[in-house]
Amino acid sequence: MTDSYAALYRRSIDDPDGFWTEQARRIDWEHPFDQVCDTSRPPFARWFVGGRTNLCHNAVDRHAATRPGDTALIWVSSEVGQERVYTFSELKDEVEVMAAMLAGQGVRAGDRVLIYLPMIPEAAFAMLACARLGAIHSVVFGGFASHALANRIDDAEPVLVVSADAGSRNGRVVPYKPLLDEAIRLAAHKPAKVLMIDRGLSAFERVADRDLDHAALRERLWGARVSCEWLPSDAISYTLYTSGTTGRPKGVQRDVGGYAVALATSMAQIYDGRAGETFFSTSDIGWVVGHSYIVYGPLIAGMATLMYEGTPVSPDAAVWWRLVEQYRVTVMFSAPTAVRVLKKQDPACLTRHDLSSLRALFLAGEPLDEPTARWIADAIGKPVIDNYWQTETGWPILTLARGVEPAQPKFGSPGVPMPGYRVQLLDERTGAVLEAPHQKGLLAIAYPLPPGCMQTVWRDDERFVRTYWSSVPGQQVYSTFDWALRDEDGYYFILGRSDDVINVAGHRLGTREIEECIAGHPAVAEVAVVGVADALKGQVAMAFAVLKDPARAATPQEALVLEGEILKRVDQQLGAVARPSRVRFVQLLPKTRSGKLLRRAIQAVCEQRDPGDLITLDDPAALQQIRELVSGAG
């Protein structure tokens, strides 16, 4: 940690009120706050109490008033061959007409709006329109299947859904409307209205008295003026669902004021983002990176944000770098999986375009291995900065603050704690703080979490406390559920998960959710799902199932047919992103004598590692069968 940044970080810990009061000046407040942080009810925290602000005002209106002609949103789709550029003035017009559509259907502050859209400009317009009205948006990734979507509809209880006829991936049209219709059929809660955006990609039928025509409403309401709703700082801005260790997804609940301040701070101090420049995040609006660093963060900072629909290799592996050159991108944000995909392509694609505008490439979403980091850093000749955070935190926990002072990255490490994060390494059994370097411990954050982090689990305070703040003996600290160590320079190295959540190409998946889906197949008696290291995706899910009747998979052909049925079920209920790479059929699963499933031992065997001390294993033959299956002997 450099001296300059160390002093800034130390102040954020020793004088949080002074530090965050200064950072809060980065945004506009309709009414000033009178308390920086209310910590009267731990582990809950309320930031900038008494203040009133609005995310849409800070992202759009204040820039439209002073820099109306500057570029705000760049949309590029290599899927449909279109590019559009919106100035701040034009973005404000689009957001206001979208807000008028929602308000016309009765959407008010505090109401929920579910957004189920591909990477199109209207997705950003819808999010910002909700923020403008004070409505709570809940974006669901467009790849999610009907069953998972229905679960989220029932939990959020939206008054309205914004969707489209279809998305496109690798040139293949993915119809959304049939998935949405089936989800609403399955859901106990029935949204009153669905605002449909017709891209002309897939024909669909409208449901009478429910489905609204976006194009017709936009034409009728164009030019409408809808003022921003000034909200209490601790009002809810959005919920975003993330998988947990149970089958029921968790709605991460975020505030308004704390989130705006945290994003403004991170854009300046971490990403070195400057007004008038261009920020390019290759993520999706369905994930937290899309919320923080496609929509809100860059716009709050007065930057143009580049929103991309497509893959990193279509029409060729130079497409991202063409965009960097064309739009003079200064800061880029992607994922290690995407870089590994590029590594398999023609290396000439990396040097075809002028990257002189680019100052740094940030990577996050899964652990960044040293070979991948070195390869892309050498290939593009730019600093490559890892950063570690979670849906729950909303912005980085560990990285390097390039906007404060450039620091030398260490390959394999995301970096050091960011302002306000009181990061600790703890002994999982005793809760003792591990002070010496190179000790493996549970990565935890002391109370309170800094601004921008989750307020609670949507409608479930008890689950928030139980899940995140009750896992370390004798201490109420926030658990990241990741193992880590710290070197003598204060750099942290992430070693893997301590719970049953896996990370597939940056997508966090709960193994329990996949297990419950597979267990619903009539042939399956019991199942275990583990995350296994994968060179491309970081991890892939692998399932081991015990059948009610082993004769169902008596021959290799029968086993393949049954495996196909199970994988299809996962596709239909959870989506392709949750599909295991394989389903293996076994006679029994490795458990302790008390009946606890030994997922970590299964994972170790799959990764050809020593499973450790298995003195508690009830039947060693169970693990041996898995070992033979994954080695090809079974």
Q: Residue 208, exposed/middle/buried by CB under 10 A (0-12, 13-18, 19+)? A: exposed
pLDDT at 613: 44
Which residue type occupies 369?
D
CB neighbours (10 Å) of residue 558? 13
Please state, in angstroms and rounded to a whole number, the distance separating the CA atoms of residues 332 and 1.
23
CATH class of 3-408+418-426: alpha beta
Please state, in angstroms and rounded to a whole number, the distance separating the CA atoms of residues 396 and 403.
14
| 3-408+418-426 and 502-631 share one fold | no
Condensed to tens digits (0 to 9), the pLDDT of residues 230-288 reads 999 999 999 999 865 455 779 999 999 999 999 999 999 999 999 999 999 999 999 99
Kindly state the average pLDDT of the residues 45-56: 98
Helix (H, G, I), strand (E, B) or coil at 290: helix
Give 615's contacts (C-beta < 8 A, 6+ positions apart): none
1 pLDDT band, cuts 50/70/90, is low
| CA dihedral over 48, 53, 55, 61, signed as positive or negative | negative
Please state, in angstroms and rounded to a whole number, the distance separating the CA atoms of residues 17 and 11.
10
Kindly state the average pLDDT of the residues 59-63: 98
Which residue type occupies 97?
V
Structure tokens at 574: 């959870």
Question: Phi/psi of residue 504, each to 5°?
Answer: -105, 110
**pTM score, two decimals?**
0.84
616 pLDDT band, cuts 50/70/90, is very low
pLDDT at 604: 84
Please state, in angstroms and rounded to a whole number, the distance separating the CA atoms of residues 343 and 348.
11
CA distances 327 to 69, 267, 274, 280, Å, are 16, 19, 15, 9
Helix (H, G, I), strand (E, B) or coil at 523: coil
19 pLDDT band, cuts 50/70/90, is very high
Give buried/exposed letters for 251-277 (b at 16+ CB in 10 A, else e): bbbbbbbbbbbbbbbbbbbbbbbbeeb
CATH class of 502-631: alpha beta
Q: What angle do CA 399, 365, 46 make, to 5 degrees?
A: 65
Structure tokens at 7: 């002093």
User: Contact 592/598 with Cβ under 8 angstroms?
Assistant: yes
Query: What is the phi-psi region of residue 452: left when phi exceeds 0, alpha when psi lies from -120 to 50, beta otherwise?
Result: left
User: Contact 384/400 with Cβ under 8 angstroms?
Assistant: no
537 pLDDT band, cuts 50/70/90, is confident
Condensed to tens digits (0 to 9), the pLDDT of residues 431-445 reads 999 999 999 899 999
Please state, in angstroms and rounded to a whole number, the distance separating the CA atoms of residues 221 and 99.
10
Condensed to tens digits (0 to 9), the pLDDT of residues 353-393 reads 999 999 999 999 877 878 888 899 999 999 999 999 999 99
Please state, in angstroms and rounded to a whole number, the distance separating the CA atoms of residues 129 and 133.
6
Q: Residue 588, exposed/middle/buried by CB under 10 A (0-12, 13-18, 19+)? A: middle
More confident residue, 496 or 615: 496
Domain range list for the chain: 3-408+418-426, 502-631
User: Contact 15/8 with Cβ under 8 angstroms?
Assistant: no
Please report which helix (H) or strand (E) contains residue 326, including its range. Answer: helix 319-326
Please state, in angstroms and rounded to a whole number, the distance separating the CA atoms of residues 343 and 149.
34
